[in-house]
Amino acid sequence: MNSQKLIPKSLIGQNTQSILIDCGILSASAWPGPVSAKKMAETGLTTPLAISKAVKNLNDFYVTVNPQARMRCIDGRHDPELDEANLGPQVPGGAPGAALAYRLGVDKDDLTRGTFLADAEAMINSFGRYGLAIGGHRDENSTDKEAVGCGAIDAMDVVLARMTDPALVDDQKRVIKVLLGKDFDRDIFLRNMGAAVVVNGRASDYFRDREKIIDILEKTSKKSVSTLQGSHEECIVIVNFVPQTTFASNRFSEEHNGMQAFGYDIWRSFEMAKKLLPRQDDAQDRKRFVMARVMTTVATLMALTDGSQRFVLRMPRQQIKP
């Protein structure tokens, strides 16, 4: 077989370990979030050419994770406490973000009860049992009272509202299919969506006192919470499938005139599913958890952005198939 046929047309960069696949922009329809690569280009903060060049170089900013380093959010803003030699993986909302996915996909409790705060505390305890480093963040504008400064936590009610918005469901499903490929399971998607509709219906109860979660992180593990600086200037969303690697977000921004990228280490969600649900007969719940985590990630991007960011996959080389 001609080896050329094995290379996808959308390939934009490669090294010995990984390939980059260009998926265009996130969405052709305007998502309701405020962070806009389009507006940044219109106001001269960046140019389409600068974004294209940055996309081609993304592989240069991936490093091996330190398993002991704290978990990071997908947020692309500057983190003054980041130790470049010891980076933890990036997932939306850091450790507390996994709690909502567990609630929607796996938890067998009554959906009409429970709170995010209790779910997140339980998730932090699970992290402790498995020896996983927790992590979360504030930002320099956060007041401690109403908003912590992490879009994935502050806007979690908005995330759930976007996830269950009939006008956005098809577009959400399209992006999830790009991320899960042949593993996309419509029944699980609809099952999680049903749970999301119920929790969204009682969002004010479920999310009450959610801002306290950052204090709990700080109490559980000193230095697990950092304070991000500056404004959102994410022009790229990169989803990374290469295990044990992560994005050097500070260095990327410094070398690209302040341009930022949302980085999601999807491999970490697969790994978390295995840690949280380790038994052989947990296979179905693992799939449900991964689907819920990917759904919350896409809905977070719908809540935070207008969909004009460039959308790039970073995958292990050996997964290239015709």
Task: Produce one character per residue of 201-216: b if its CB has 16 or more CB atoms within 10 Å, e if not.
Answer: eebeebbeebbebbeb
Where does 72-168 show beta strands of DSSP type E? 136-139
Site map (CB under 5 A) of Zn ion, residues 58-87, x = contact = ---------------x-x------------
Could you say which of 51, 120, 150, 259 contacts Zn ion (CB under 5 A)?
A: 150
- How far apart, in whole angstroms, are the C-alpha atoms of residue 313 and residue 322? 17
DSSP-derived pairing of the beta strands 136-139 and 225-228:
parallel
Could you say which of 19, 152, 261, 273 contacts Zn ion (CB under 5 A)?
A: 152
- Nearer of residues 73 and 301 to Zn ion, judged by Cβ: 73
Contact (Cβ atoms closer than 8 angstroms) between residue 22 and residue 10? yes
> Cβ neighbours of residue 171 under 8 Å, at least 6 residues apart?
27, 29, 31, 302
Q: How far is the CB of 319 from Zn ion (least distance, A)?
A: 28
State yes or no: residue 99 binds Zn ion (CB under 5 A). no
- Nearer of residues 189 and 264 to Zn ion, judged by Cβ: 264
Half-sphere exposure of 300 (CA within 13 A, CB side): 27
How many residues bind Zn ion (CB under 5 A)? The answer is 4
* 36 closest CA partner among 260, 265, 298, 211: 260
Q: How far is the CB of 228 from Zn ion (least distance, A)?
A: 8
State yes or no: residue 303 binds Zn ion (CB under 5 A). no
Give the burial class of 122: count Cβ atoms within 10 A of its Cβ; 0-12 exposed, 13-18 middle, 19 or more buried.
middle
- Nearer of residues 104 and 214 to Zn ion, judged by Cβ: 214
- Nearer of residues 51 and 73 to Zn ion, judged by Cβ: 73
Contact (Cβ atoms closer than 8 angstroms) between residue 262 and residue 236? yes
State yes or no: residue 139 binds Zn ion (CB under 5 A). no
Q: How far is the CB of 72 from Zn ion (least distance, A)?
A: 8
Site map (CB under 5 A) of Zn ion, residues 24-63, x = contact = ----------------------------------------
- What residues line the site for Zn ion (CB under 5 A)? 73, 75, 150, 152
